[in-house]
Structure 1
Amino acid sequence: MLDSTQIQAILPHRYPMLLIDRVLEHEPGQYALARKNVSINEAVFQGHFPGNPVLPGVFILEAMAQTGAIALLTLDNFKGRTAYFGGIKSAKFRQVVRPGDTLEIKVTLEKLKDRIGVGKAIATVEGQKACTAELTFIVE
């Protein structure tokens, strides 16, 4: 398990762009399982949407990317490097995510060649799919 301080030692993201709170499990080069606690105090809810707060889909995708980056950047040959989005494929949003929800995000790396990785991502709330996507990462 990784707490927020340990996550920040791996990822360059900081508030307000660090979108995962804890890594529950991870196997370097294989997968990572993370949690994001969605809070009404997040700045995005001031404008998305007042009176009907909804976590934007791009934030869910970014949380997925950060989870996948943990799986990549904990590999010995990628430690201290940065993982960038290389692409998003087949993203599907299946339910609204609201303040008070807890996102569980799992990214399983399916391909890894040189410095490019592809992963299958799924985000759930209380066991129900909120979003699925295939993500491509480029490590610099």
Structure 2
Amino acid sequence: MKFHLVDKIESIEPGKRIVTTKALSLAEEYLADHFPAFPVLPGVMMLEALTQSAAWLTRVRQDFSRSMVVLQAARNVRYASFVAPGNILRCEVEAMTLDDETAKFKAAGFVGDTQTVSARLELRSFNLADRKRSLAATDAAVLEQVRRVFRLIHGPEALEATRA
């Protein structure tokens, strides 16, 4: 991931639902160009925040067994409002179907009670070694990094709270 658009996993119901947050800061470099006089989170980044949230739900459901979780399709994408510096984007993602290779989600982003974006997402997951055995070490390195980020964004705490 070039951009980490999930700062915290607020709650997670494995295989069902995840809520994440992203605090937008004026320090984000891309805001200098989008737009200089009125900086807002680009729409594609809002969509990416939803996608990354769905990917975390997928990874947890699959017990971190696949190194790659990628967007296969985004449908019915609707942008309704801006996300400005100082705002917190809350992503709510619900699994519609979730199996070993593909997953479909209904996703929406909010600032407070105001919806900013919504979409239907389809993700695909796989290991690089499934296509080329020599990439098994790369899969292992990616999964180690993914697990580290999961800990940093409070994933284990969110899982524990669900079990309590």
TM-score (normalizing by structure 2): 0.73
One-letter amino acid matched to 1:136: E
Alignment gaps of 5+ in structure 1: 1-12
Task: Indicate yes or no: 2:78 matched with 1:87.
Answer: no
1:72-121 CA-partner distances (Å, limit 9, x unpaired): 10124543522100100000000011111101001101012441000000
User: Which runs of structure 2 are paired with 1:114-133 in the superposition (5 Å)?
Assistant: 114-133=100-119
1:38-92 CA-partner distances (Å, limit 9, x unpaired): 0000011111110110110000000000100111101245435221001000000
One-letter amino acid matched to 2:98: L
Task: Indicate yes or no: 2:42 matched with 1:53.
Answer: no
Task: Indicate yes or no: 2:92 matched with 1:73.
Answer: no
Superposed CA RMSD: 1.3
SS at match of 1:17: coil
Quote the offset at 1:31 in angstroms: 1.3
Quote the offset at 1:29 in angstroms: 1.5
Checking the alignment, whether the CA contact within 8 Å between 1:28 and 1:73 is kept in structure 2 is no
Checking the alignment, whether the CA contact within 8 Å between 2:66 and 2:125 is kept in structure 1 is no
Alignment gaps of 5+ in structure 2: 127-164
One-letter amino acid matched to 2:22: K
Choose the corresponding residue for 1:139, options 125, 132, 151: 125
SS at match of 1:65: helix
Moved over 6 A (4+): none
* Aligned-partner Cα distance in 2 for 1:57–1:79: 30
Choose the corresponding residue for 2:49, options 63, 69, 77: 63
The structure whose residues are more often strand, as a share, is 1
One-letter amino acid matched to 2:14: P
SS at match of 1:66: helix
TM-score (normalizing by structure 1): 0.85
State, as a whole percentage, how many aligned pairs show the same letter. Answer: 28
* Aligned-partner Cα distance in 1 for 2:54–2:85: 23
* Aligned-partner Cα distance in 1 for 2:66–2:79: 32
Checking the alignment, whether the CA contact within 8 Å between 2:16 and 2:94 is kept in structure 1 is yes
Quote the offset at 1:36 in angstroms: 0.3
Cross-structure match for 2:6? 20
Count of equivalent residues: 126
